[in-house]
């Protein structure tokens, strides 16, 4: 991915648009298009205001290419927002694979947070996040009190989650893995599950739904919510998720390319922050995973858990 970082000097401070055009040596309309595309970050925060003031010493990051294509090319249409539940306090959506949960430096275009903001016409309360390639249930608070209450349920483990994954075949029928997680010093962006390092506690239960010669279908129940927890835990068990190339997952499954890390946040059980009643949110399997479940003759679990 091609991007450019620039630290603003004292003699360059001023409005974003002319500064950007000068630093990149591009026309004003091209600089304006970069800002509108969501490709410009000031101090790590996406900035879509071409008139915003930039101060001396601040860092500009500009994404120039993504997936080998200039971000000045016409952007692909934003995916439709798939609503699972909405009331006065809670909004739940089915996040598609490939969409970031929120704007991140180094990526252009809309995130799930941007789509929800456009739907509500105001800032939503981001409660939790899924990895870019992970699909499934994501919940937002629509009021500050609902956001606080929902976040507390995730923080203290009261929010219960069921994920479905297609992983390597070397997996027992059921079990629990409680290996601590820590950053892998030899592979940036990856976590390792091991007791040999000073990691954070992490615990996952699993139930194997089906076993095939080259893969297994599995339901995962994380009891903690660590970054890359399920990906690292399955790798430690010798059964990395298919398509998860960062963790060594197979690139093909059931005779076709995996295409992405085949992990889906299928169900979320929590307590409604206003009414105190149970709330079960479920997202249907995406097509890439449904194909494998159908080929194996397996029906994905549904309902309470």
Q: Which residues are catalytic?
A: 131
Nearest Cα to Cα of residue 273 among 25, 49, 65, 85: 85
Nearest Cα to Cα of residue 281 among 155, 129, 137, 157: 137
Angle of helix 16-24 relative to helix 28-36, nearest 10 degrees? 110
How far CA 133 is from CA of 61, 63, 151, 262, 286, in Å, comes to: 23, 20, 22, 8, 12
Nearest Cα to Cα of residue 250 among 167, 191, 165: 167
What beta strand segments (E) does 25-171 contain?
Answer: 40-42, 45-46, 53-54, 59-63, 65-66, 69-70, 83-86, 90-95, 125-126, 135-141, 160-167
User: 257 and 200 in contact (C-beta within 8 Å)?
Assistant: no
Tokens of 288: 């890439």
Q: Which residues contact 94 (CB under 8 A, 6 or more apart)?
A: 82, 83, 84, 135, 136, 137, 138, 283, 284
Calpha distance 20→36 (Å, rounded): 13
């Amino acid at each position: 991915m091609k991007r450019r970082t620039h630290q603003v000097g004292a003699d360059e401070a001023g409005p974003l648009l002319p500064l950007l055009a000068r630093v990149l040596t591009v026309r004003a309309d091209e600089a304006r298009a970069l800002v509108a595309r969501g490709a410009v970050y000031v101090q790590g925060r996406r900035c879509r205001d071409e008139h915003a003031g930039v101060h001396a010493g601040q860092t500009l990051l500009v994404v120039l290419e993504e997936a080998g294509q200039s971000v000045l090319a016409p952007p692909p249409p934003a995916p439709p927002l798939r609503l699972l539940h909405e009331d006065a306090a809670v909004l739940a959506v089915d996040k598609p694979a490939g969409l970031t949960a929120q704007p991140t430096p180094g990526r252009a275009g809309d995130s799930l947070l941007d789509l929800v903001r456009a739907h509500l016409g105001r800032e939503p309360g981001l409660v939790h996040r899924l990895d870019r390639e992970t699909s499934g249930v994501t919940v937002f608070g629509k009021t500050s009190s609902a956001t606080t209450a929902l976040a507390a349920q995730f923080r203290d483990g009261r929010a219960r989650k069921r994920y479905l994954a297609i992983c390597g075949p070397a997996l027992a029928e059921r079990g629990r893995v409680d290996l601590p997680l820590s950053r892998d010093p030899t592979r940036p962006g990856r976590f390792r599950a091991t007791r040999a390092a000073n990691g954070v506690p992490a615990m996952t239960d699993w139930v194997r739904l089906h076993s095939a010669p080259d893969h297994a279908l599995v339901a995962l129940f994380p009891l903690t919510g660590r970054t890359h927890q399920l990906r690292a835990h399955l790798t430690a068990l010798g059964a990395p998720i298919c398509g998860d190339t960062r963790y060594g997952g197979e690139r093909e499954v059931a005779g076709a390319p995996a295409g992405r890390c085949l992990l889906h946040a299928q169900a979320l059980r929590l307590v409604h922050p206003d009414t105190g009643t149970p709330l079960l949110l479920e997202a249907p399997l995406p097509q890439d995973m449904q194909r494998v479940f159908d080929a194996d003759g397996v029906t994905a679990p549904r309902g309470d858990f």
